[in-house]
Amino acid sequence: MNNPSPIRKPSRIQKRNRKLILDAALEVFSAHGYRGATLDLIAAEAGLSKPNILYYFTGKEEIHITLLNGLMDTWLAPMREIDPAGDPLEEILRYVHRKLEMSREFPRESRLFANEIIQGAPRIGSHLKAGLKPLVDETAALFEGWMAAGKLAQMDARHLIFSIWATTQHYADFDAQVQVLMQDQPVHEGADAFLDTLYRRLLTI
Amino acid sequence: MNNPSPIRKPSRIQKRNRKLILDAALEVFSAHGYRGATLDLIAAEAGLSKPNILYYFTGKEEIHITLLNGLMDTWLAPMREIDPAGDPLEEILRYVHRKLEMSREFPRESRLFANEIIQGAPRIGSHLKAGLKPLVDETAALFEGWMAAGKLAQMDARHLIFSIWATTQHYADFDAQVQVLMQDQPVHEGADAFLDTLYRRLLTI
DNA sequence: GCTTTTCCTGACCGTATGGTCAAGAAAAGA
DNA sequence: TCTTTTCTTGACCATACGGTCAGGAAAAGC
């Protein structure tokens, strides 16, 4: 009676409309934050009526959680792709470039997560523990192995990871500020070259 | 009839209550963002009634703007304190440490600005241009002078500044995430050592 | 003391917003 | 085709929230 048959597999219309809604929600949530987003805005952006939105999702929060869960994997993919068998320096530099690329190509996703975490991760705190932490632990261990083997300069692996996130996501999350300070100059090329220099100098023994 | 005498100098009570309100507003705005903050929350936090809040400020937005304006100077102080006559490397490292210290001591202020800028700086866009940009231009020029004089490694000065902001403010803005990933380990000491290494390696010729 | 100004609040208002519901339209199944 | 299920919506509701106002309490000025 309520949700579109939670048992049977989603129909063609269901798939289309759920996608429409989630796309619209990404746009609205990332631009206004959870509290600033309204169902009316999402409905307008999706081209659907508000009650119809609530036919597919039980409420605003479920849309938000579904979004975050669905994007988490994509967001963490570059870190999963670090190859333990590859060359340490090149693997990390490739990770940095991929993250920067994602800041440029998916700024909405970046801001969605940024908004959520700044507010204390009230709706995905558990997911950070369950999804993110194991991956970071694993990656930190990999980095530490490389350092112990003398293939990278010695440093705290977790803070290294934080610095990569911070420096790359900054260009998406703080774009408004970057734009003011860089005027019309091309941002991405400069960032790419700078971060290459930064991590090459930092990590090379 | 409306605002507490905009002409005469503020009374003792006015100074006390405006401070109470701004302190409470900092707490609430930084934790929930502009849209998530409510006058009722601010009033409760300040220990005043809602109408009394509106006796001292014309509305929610004025409180927010007053806060941002009042904190901007404090927030930018470390950058102003960079000494053009000092040793380039040490001056920048001191700046990095001061910024990190501010992230630890004033995380609310950091998140207040972060919230505002992520949403596109709708309420302080003009202030970024008028207040921040000249200072950054000046500082970037100083850094470029040092590089040209062969006292620092060559790189883009603006991206260097961005990286310092990003890496230091990350510990305040994304604290919820950092806490999950660092468990009970002490964060600040590690960050301090890591960033020292990072910028020393990056900037040394 | 008295008067004036400043400070404070309970009650109220208009609007925005998340969410509901009954009933109709469109697909899908037979 | 007819029947059943899925999809869609206008109208509505309850609450939250920013803000107002008339009038009273407390300071300040004299």
B3-18 pLDDT per residue, tens: 554 556 777 889 999 9
Rg (CA), chain A: 20
Specify if A4 maps to a domain: no
Read off the CATH number of the domain in which A47 is found. 1.10.10.60
Average pLDDT, integer, range A58-79: 96
Strand C: which of residues 25-44 in chain A lie with Cβ below 7 A? 37-40
Task: Mark whether B96 and B50 lie in a shared domain.
Answer: no
Specify if B1 maps to a domain: no
d(CA A27, CA B80) in angstroms, rounded, equals 37
Give the distance, in angstroms, between residue A13 CA and nucleotide C24 C1'. Answer: 19
Query: Which residue is closest, via its CA, to the C1' of D20?
Result: B51
Average pLDDT, integer, range B105-126: 95
Specify if B4 maps to a domain: no
Contact B56, B138 (CB under 8 A): no
User: Which DSSP category does A11 fall into?
Assistant: P
Task: Mark whether B167 and B124 lie in a shared domain.
Answer: yes
Task: Mark whether A165 and A70 lie in a shared domain.
Answer: yes
Specify if B68 maps to a domain: yes
**Percent of chain B topping pLDDT 90:** 88
* pLDDT of A1: 39
Average pLDDT, integer, range B154-159: 98
Check whether residue A145 has its CB closer than 7 Å to nucleic acid strand D: no
- Distance (Å) from the alpha carbon of B135 to chain A's nearest alpha carbon: 10
Number of domains in chain A: 2
Average pLDDT score, chain A: 94
Stated pTM of the model = 0.94
Contact B176, B111 (CB under 8 A): no
Check whether residue A106 has its CB closer than 7 Å to nucleic acid strand D: no
Does the pLDDT at position A13 exceed 90? no
Read off the CATH number of the domain in which B195 is found. 1.10.357.10
Phi, psi (5° rounding) for residue B101?
-60, -40
Q: Please judge whether A166 and B166 are an interchain contact, meaning their C-beta atoms are less than 8 angstroms apart.
A: yes
B135 three-class SS: helix
Specify if A91 maps to a domain: yes
Specify if A50 maps to a domain: yes
Does the pLDDT at position A68 exceed 70? yes
Contact A98, A74 (CB under 8 A): no
Task: Mark whether B117 and B184 lie in a shared domain.
Answer: yes
Burial tier of A47 (Cβ tally within 10 Å: 0-12, 13-18, 19+): exposed
Question: What is the secondary structure of B84-111 as a DSSP string?
Answer: TTS-HHHHHHHHHHHHHHHHHH-HHHHH
B47: region left, alpha or beta (phi > 0 left; psi from -120 to 50 alpha):
left
Average pLDDT, integer, range A86-103: 98
